[in-house]
């Protein structure tokens, strides 16, 4: 990630400190290396040799040695500075105070001068060492903050939880020179090892991690609990909730951890816990949105179905009550109403069943060679009285090849598109059906286009046009808004697609596409 790359220089600094074990940075000021004492002796010896040949008084040499002690404070630790003050005072007395080259009894003035020098050297050394310690502490704080900042940037820039965990573990490996792992807490208890980790804990390490998850405390190496384990296991907690365990296996030569190292490791565990909490909140929000949308669709379905069922049932009940009339013309009219209401109910139930089949994966197309004219004519007959008063214009080339499709599904696709045109256009307006071969798409596709002369597709409906229960404001009564959703599902099941656009002459245009496959002689079905 970009955030990880930009922080590579800072990560190198912190990683170098971990891997090289720079004692001056990570260990206590009370511990100094033997080399610093040798450096103190070397500097004092060099100053003494040079000063031996200079025509200066022993009083001036006290100032020189004091300056040397203060300069050494900038390089060595607290105890080497104290050692430098003692050695320089002794050398000053032995070499330069008269009588030279002896530890003679000093006069009161020289003794007071030597005592003041010794006190000033110690105070100056301690103050300088304290300033150095504060500077070192601030530098380490800055490096820790920089490392955590770039970790936060990497986590924030990740698109998925897996990417974020992987980025965090890679940074942990570099920073600590160790193998790392994250074990995520499951909802029903237990831990799951994330695949991105470089540390693969065995049964013993998993048992330690389970203990950490159960007790909400760190355990493993460098701790007082289960210290025989290979890794250090840190809990990832947020608001008292256990989200997982962050595990680190450091090299065997690492004998102990400094407070700064442990603090940075705990900081990583906190950042990972924040990441997991954010992911849980996002997932909870998605579930809440899903449940809200599901509830909305449920209410919409119930409202639509109840409304759509009441109208034809009321017609059937009313017509049934009046069928015993002796007026032949009235009986004929009632029979027509019954037929219309029955067709409407049949279409409603068919759409509900088809939508259920699509959502449950129950659509299994039976592809065969078909003539486009056959299922267009079958769809026209299936629409029935809904096309009364409409002019259906067809434009199908005589040489249009056969297509590979499921005829019953294509019949329902065309019928739904015809009914959609009827519901969204003024009464009496014409509807046009055209077909052909679209050679623009590589090997070519067979298309069937249904165009009308209505108001067209509203801009607010274009994005969700093929979703279920989606109906335009100007649509006439009759339908649940499932027709176009079913069309899309049936076309995808056959390996085709459906698109919507504007009719150049005004109105809407829906085009379905089927793959154009070359065929030889089609067997004759007449046997």
Last residue of a domain, one of 285, 308, 326: 285
| 455 and 502 share one domain | yes
d(CA 100, CA 112): 18
Whether residue 348 is contained in a domain is answered as no
**345 within some domain:** no
Is the domain of 464 the same as that of 509?
A: yes
In 1-57, alpha helices (H)? 2-6, 8-20, 23-26, 34-52
* CA–CA dist 124, 67 (Å, integer): 10
In the prediction, which pLDDT does 27 show? 41
DSSP 367: -
Domain's final residue, options 133, 156, 179: 156
Q: What is the pLDDT of residue 433?
A: 92
Domain coverage including residue 388: 368-515
Same domain (yes/no): 251, 192 = yes
Strand partners, 179: 249
Does residue 30 belong to any structural domain of this protein?
Answer: yes
The residue ranges of the chain whose pLDDT is under 70 are 1-32, 104-106, 140, 144, 148, 154-158, 297-298, 300-312, 315, 344-363, 441-443, 468-481, 519-527
DSSP code at position 231: S
Against a cut of 0.85, is the pTM above it?
A: no
Q: Are residues 164 and 141 in the same domain?
A: no
In a domain, 523, yes or no: no
Question: In terms of domains, do 492 and 462 share one?
Answer: yes
The Cα-based distances of 402 to 42, 115, 382 in angstroms read: 100, 114, 22
152, 166: one domain: no
pLDDT of residue 18: 40
Q: Residue 246 is part of a domain; what is its CATH number? A: 3.30.450.40
- In the chain, the number of structural domains is 3
Give Cα 316 distance to the centre of its chain.
55
Cα 469 to chain centroid, rounded: 31
Sheet of strand 508-515: strand arrangement: 392-395, 431-438, 445-452, 508-515, 497-502
- Calpha distance 232→221 (Å, rounded): 5
Q: Is 420 helix (H, G, I), strand (E, B) or coil?
A: helix
Domain check: are 399 and 418 in the same one?
A: yes
So what's the pLDDT on residue 53?
Answer: 86
- Hey, what are 500's tokens? 């919507």
Tell me: do 56 and 197 sit in the same domain: no
For residue 331, being part of any structural domain is answered with no
Give the domain CATH number at 489.
3.30.565.10
Cα distance between residue 508 and residue 503, in whole Å:
5
- Which of 156, 178, 200 is the last residue in one of the domains? 156
Indicate whether 6 and 141 sit together in one domain.
yes
Which pLDDT score, from 0 to 100, does residue 8 have?
39
Does residue 292 belong to any structural domain of this protein? no
């Amino acid at each position: 990630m970009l955030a990880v790359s930009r922080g590579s220089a800072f990560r190198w600094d912190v990683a170098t400190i971990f891997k090289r074990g720079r004692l001056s940075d990570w260990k206590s000021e009370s511990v100094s290396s033997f080399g610093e004492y040798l450096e103190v002796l070397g500097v004092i010896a060099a100053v003494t040799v040079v000063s031996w040949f200079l025509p200066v008084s022993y009083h001036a040499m006290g100032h020189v040695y004091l300056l040397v002690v203060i300069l050494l404070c900038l390089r060595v630790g607290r105890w080497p500075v104290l050692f430098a003050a003692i050695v320089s005072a002794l050398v000053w007395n032995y070499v330069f105070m008269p009588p030279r080259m002896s530890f003679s009894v000093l006069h009161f003035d020289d003794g007071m001068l030597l005592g003041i020098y010794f006190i000033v050297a110690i105070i100056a050394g301690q103050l300088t060492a304290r300033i150095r310690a504060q500077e070192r502490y601030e530098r380490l704080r800055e490096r820790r903050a920089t490392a955590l900042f770039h970790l936060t940037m990497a986590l924030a820039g990740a698109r998925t939880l897996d990417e974020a965990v992987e980025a965090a573990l890679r940074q942990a490996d570099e920073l600590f020179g160790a193998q790392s792992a994250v074990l995520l807490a499951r909802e029903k208890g237990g831990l799951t090892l994330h695949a991105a980790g470089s540390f693969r804990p065995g049964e013993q390490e998993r048992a330690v991690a389970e203990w950490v998850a159960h007790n909400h405390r760190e355990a493993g190496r460098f701790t007082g609990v289960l210290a025989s384990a290979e890794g250090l296991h840190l809990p990832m907690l947020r608001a008292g909730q256990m989200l997982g365990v962050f595990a680190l296996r450091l090299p065997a030569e690492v004998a102990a951890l400094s407070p700064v190292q442990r603090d940075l490791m705990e900081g990583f565990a906190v950042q990972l816990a924040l990441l997991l909490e954010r992911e849980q909140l996002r997932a909870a929000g998605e579930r809440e949105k899903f449940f809200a949308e599901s509830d909305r669709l449920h209410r919409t379905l119930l409202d639509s179905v109840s409304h759509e069922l009441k109208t034809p049932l009321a017609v059937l009940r009313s017509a049934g009550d009046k069928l015993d009339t002796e007026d032949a013309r009235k009986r004929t009219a009632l029979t027509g109403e019954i037929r219309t209401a029955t067709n409407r109910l049949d279409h409603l139930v068919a759409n509900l069943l088809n939508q259920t089949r699509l959502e449950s994966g129950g659509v299994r197309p039976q592809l065969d060679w078909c003539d486009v004219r056959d299922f267009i004519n079958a769809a026209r007959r299936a629409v029935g009285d809904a096309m009364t008063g409409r002019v259906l214009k067809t434009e199908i080339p005589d040489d249009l090849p056969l297509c590979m499709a499921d005829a019953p599904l294509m019949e329902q696709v065309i019928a739904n598109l015809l009914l959609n045109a009827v519901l969204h256009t003024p009464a009496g307006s014409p509807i046009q059906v055209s077909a052909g071969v679209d050679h623009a798409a590589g090997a070519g596709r067979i298309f069937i286009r249904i165009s009308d002369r209505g108001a067209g597709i509203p801009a607010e409906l274009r994005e969700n046009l093929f979703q279920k229960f989606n109906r335009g404001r100007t649509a006439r009564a009759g339908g649940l808004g499932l027709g176009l959703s079913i069309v899309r599902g049936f076309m995808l099941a056959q390996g085709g697609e459906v698109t919507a656009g504007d009719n150049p002459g005004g109105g809407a245009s829906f085009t379905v596409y089927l793959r154009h496959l070359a065929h030889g002689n089609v067997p004759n079905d007449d046997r």
